Structure 1
Amino acid sequence: MREIEIKVQLNDSNEAIKKLSAAGVELSSVKEQHDVVYCLPADKAKENDPNVNWLRIRTENKTTAYFTLKRSVSGSLDSIEHETIVADAGELEAMLHYMGYVVFSDLVKIRRTGHIGDIELCLDEVPPLGGFIELEKLCDESADGAMVEKELMSTLDSLGIAYGERMTKGYDELMNEHLARMR
């Protein structure tokens, strides 16, 4: 499956919640997601290379673990994605290390989700990066990415949510950039 998304930094997360509610979007309860992304050491600088596999272990609410493979199609926010629940995240982590994978990023985010038709909205707080909203759509692998992005931006704009910069990178890349600036 292919996941295409857009992401923007929010000016005010509470205002975004009000706008979503006014638009009839029901948000889920709050979920804590701990994401650890892995890559091979030689691939650390190849974030958008379509030949590189990015592997993620996501632990949700400290109970359920998901293993995800992502491979870029046309950038960090457009990727082929395969995901499954895993019984033991610690054992999976050990296997990844034995296969030569290293940690690329490690972050925690607080997420609430909602839907508008077949579009998933993710309202995220990512300490220390701030508040964001993502709109995501699962598509066939042959989908026209530019058209889907236009649809997602149009949907976001129709909600009247004030936002700042549009992000073209995933949280893992944004966090690594933030940490590099802090050194």
Structure 2
Amino acid sequence: MSIEVEIKLKIRDRDKLMEDLRAIDFKQGDLVSESDIYYTSKHHDFEKMDEALRIRSIRNLSTGETSSVITFKGAKTDNCSMTRKELETEVGDSEIAREILESIGFTPVPAVEKERQNFYKQKITACVDRVKNLGEYLELEKIVDAEEEKTEALKELEEVLQRLGYSMEDTTRISYLSMLMKKDL
């Protein structure tokens, strides 16, 4: 089982943040476009359970390569971050995967569209996101294998956050999907 330890925050200046990430030895990765289709159903209330099921379609904006993954995210496991169980695997054809889910009673909700610039340092990923209809955000993530590793991983992410001029008080535990749904109300 993988546990995604994650913190997220709205950023003030995307270009400066990317410069600051490079200054603290993060290596710039690919710029990608991601389209996330989330699902709900009558037999499993993902919102109420604080869980998520999605199919993500990814397009590398440099190479044009495409891929898709299906992801289940469990409920958040603490009160200060977005940390949760995450199960993810590649999907050969996202349209067929969507049709399968919809054929067995899952209903799509409006898509979350974003442009994501990835940065990497050791086992930490920094995602600088430009989310359609929401603005610009930073996600800092580290995947761990055991519950016992969560506290140390969160501490590492908080240290990066502080080096970038932010604090845990700047973070949010609200998903992009929830932000967009709230905005539409």
Gap change, CA 1:22 and 1:45, over 3 Å in 2: closer
Superposition RMSD on alpha carbons, in Å? 2.3
2: CA distance, partners of 1:20 / 1:112: 11
Gap regions ≥5 residues in structure 2: 60-64
Gap change, CA 1:96 and 1:125, over 3 Å in 2: same
2: CA distance, partners of 1:126 / 1:97: 25
Q: How many residues align?
A: 176
Is the deviation greater in 112-121 or in 158-167?
Answer: 158-167
Amino acid at match of 2:25: G
SS at match of 2:133: coil
Question: % of aligned pairs identical?
Answer: 26
TM, length-normalised to structure 2? 0.84
* 1:152 positional shift: 1.1
Gap change, CA 1:24 and 1:30, over 3 Å in 2: same
Gap change, CA 1:143 and 1:171, over 3 Å in 2: farther
Q: Assess if the C-alpha contact under 8 Å between 1:57 and 1:68 holds in 2.
A: yes
Pairing 1:140–2:145 present: yes
Amino acid at match of 2:23: A
Gap regions ≥5 residues in structure 1: none
1: CA distance, partners of 2:54 / 2:40: 9
SS at match of 2:22: helix
2: CA distance, partners of 1:7 / 1:125: 13
- Which one of 54, 57, 60 corresponds to residue 56 of structure 1? 54
Match of 1:71 in 2: 74
SS at match of 2:48: coil
Gap change, CA 1:173 and 1:148, over 3 Å in 2: same
Q: Assess if the C-alpha contact under 8 Å between 1:68 and 1:84 holds in 2.
A: yes
TM, length-normalised to structure 1? 0.85
Match of 1:36 in 2: 37
Match of 2:101 in 1: 96
SS at match of 1:35: strand
Amino acid at match of 1:139: V
